A = this chain, B = another copy of it.
Amino acid sequence: MNRAELIEQIKQKRSFLCVGLDADIEKIPAHLKELEDPIFEFNKAIIDATKDYCVAYKPNIAFYESLGSKGWISLEKTLAYIPKDIFTIADAKRGDIGNTSILYARAFFEHMNFDSITVAPYMGSDSVLPFLTYKNKWVILLALTSNEGALDFQFMTSNSSGLKLHEKVILKANTWGNKDNLMFVVGATRPEMLKAIRKIAPDNFLLVPGVGAQGGNLEEVAKNGMNKECGLLINSSRAIIYADSTENFAEVAKEQARKLQEEMKIYLDSFGI
């Protein structure tokens, strides 16, 4: 999916919501566990319930890998089930040397046809460039994450440029890619940081995890992070998909997604998008 198509989806649905498909076999409703592929059945129900209120789905690959080859099959089926006009994110946080990145690109962009993949920047250009050779596919590079450990290295300040590591990552990566194939992960727990990041990445889409369970505030994120084409994908996982654990889980998930979409509509309207 290209940038224009993504923006069009956001305008039509009045939403920049991404639903995190973190399907955990230990958390899904009990009645699903008797079915042949409980993880896929769970995702299918969540997708049916939320697809009108979100513009992206983001399976966290760890949840599928933890089940071995069976989990991988559930993931393949889930991908095939997501409507084609919804942006898909493989939350894989891969990062390796060039010939290995080529294989990861093959896995996620060809074998499974994801629109995008999250990538870790530590190993530099080799980890990013192979993904950028695909047309209408995206790298979503970790910049400022929302976890506690973000403080360990991401705020280290360079003695030559004065840049923090996450700022250097953003500036350097925008010499490899651009707003048409490169987004950044920016945590929502520090909305004031979003403003600083918008100064050095005015045009890239930002994927903001952590609204809901991880404590981010949607209004603050919109105020500090939105640009004239929206430029935000805000993820919510647990607060939607595990809002209810009974047979009624999909209905409750729908309600949670709808509420977030309604709030997002207000911010899109007020930004004239």
A residues touching B (Cβ–Cβ < 8 Å)? 24, 60, 62-63, 65-70, 72-73, 76, 93-98, 100-101, 103-104, 106-107, 111-112, 120-128, 142, 145-154, 156-160, 162, 165, 168-169, 172
Question: Are B68 and A72 in contact, CB atoms less than 8 angstroms apart?
Answer: yes
Partner of A66, one of B98, B103, B145: B103
A121 — which chain B residues lie within 8 A by C-beta?
122, 152-153
Partner of A122, one of B101, B148, B153: B153
Distance A126 CA – B94 CA, assembled complex (angstroms)? 16
Q: A160-B157, A169-B153 are in contact. Are A62 and B122 (CB under 8 A)?
A: no
A72's nearest neighbour on chain B, judged by CB, is B69
Question: Are A107 and B156 in contact, CB atoms less than 8 angstroms apart?
Answer: no
A69 — which chain B residues lie within 8 A by C-beta?
69-70, 72-73, 76
Question: Are A66 and B106 in contact, CB atoms less than 8 angstroms apart?
Answer: yes
A150 — which chain B residues lie within 8 A by C-beta?
123-124
Query: What are the 4 closest A-B residue pairs judged by CB atoms, nearest first?
Result: A124-B149, A124-B152, A69-B72, A126-B149
